[in-house]
Amino acid sequence: MNFKTILPALALIGMTTVTTWAGEGRARIDMYSNTKIKIEASADKKVRVNHPGWVKEELKKSQSLSADIFAPDDQWKQITISFTPEQDGYGSLHFKGQWDKTKMNWCYFDNVVVEGTSLKNPDFESADGWKHSEGAFITDESMAQSGKGLIHVWHDKYVHQSIKLTAGQTVTITAWVKFDKTEDKPAKK
């Protein structure tokens, strides 16, 4: 192959990649616990669930999960993730946008349903039970997937809640997500 043949092929791949990404962004659900967890693979190819690579200590890595979600910006998308704890314990469930060095990936979450444990105010109709950044909770029926409440988050402005984990009891989290926008992070002072 010569350079003249390779160049058009690379251009085509680049255009295809841009087209694939148009109209969607990335959201994330993280869970950090005090017990090892077994992650179930998602059937949805646009939801990748793994033990987080940025956690270097092997024990802590095995106690954590990160779901990288490709979410559309024009409609709500229902996603499901599941995991099973090896021992009784606790976890902290975080809803956020995907991390980026220079950008804020804003997204919405609503109408969370949890099986295998309990969650207080999973539909975000109230902030009661949640720890959150200022302004993360929105009350607007026209924006919500269900009811009137939803959350608007990015990586550093997230919403989280502690959950109880039971050994061998699979926890399944189903949530609705929609990407909002990407903005530049403010300059550090």
Q: What is the DSSP string of 100-142?
A: -SSEEEEEEEEEEEEESS--SSTT-S--TT-EE-TT-EEE-TT
**Rg of the chain in Å (alpha carbons):** 18
- 18 domain-assigned: no
Percent of the chain clearing pLDDT 90 (strictly above) = 83
Average pLDDT over residues 84-108: 97
How many domains, in total, are found in the chain? Answer: 1
Lowest mean pLDDT segment, chosen from 22-26, 110-114, 123-127: 22-26
- 52 domain-assigned: yes
- 88 domain-assigned: yes
CATH number at residue 130: 2.60.120
Tell me which residue range forms the domain holding 156. 25-184
What is the pTM for the complete model shown?
A: 0.86
- 17 domain-assigned: no
Average pLDDT over residues 12-33: 67
Each residue of 62-95: pLDDT tens digit?
999 999 999 999 999 999 999 999 999 999 999 9
Percent of the chain clearing pLDDT 70 (strictly above) = 88
- 14 domain-assigned: no
- 89 domain-assigned: yes
Report the pLDDT value the prediction gives residue 13, as an integer from 0 to 100: 38
Q: How many residues does the chain have?
A: 189
Hey, what amino acid is at 19? T
| Mean confidence (pLDDT) of the chain | 90
What's the CA gap between 7 and 152, in Å, rounded? 41
Report the pLDDT value the prediction gives residue 8, as an integer from 0 to 100: 44
Q: What is the DSSP string of 48-73?
A: EEE--TT--SHHHHHTEEEEEEEEES
- 189 domain-assigned: no
- 11 domain-assigned: no
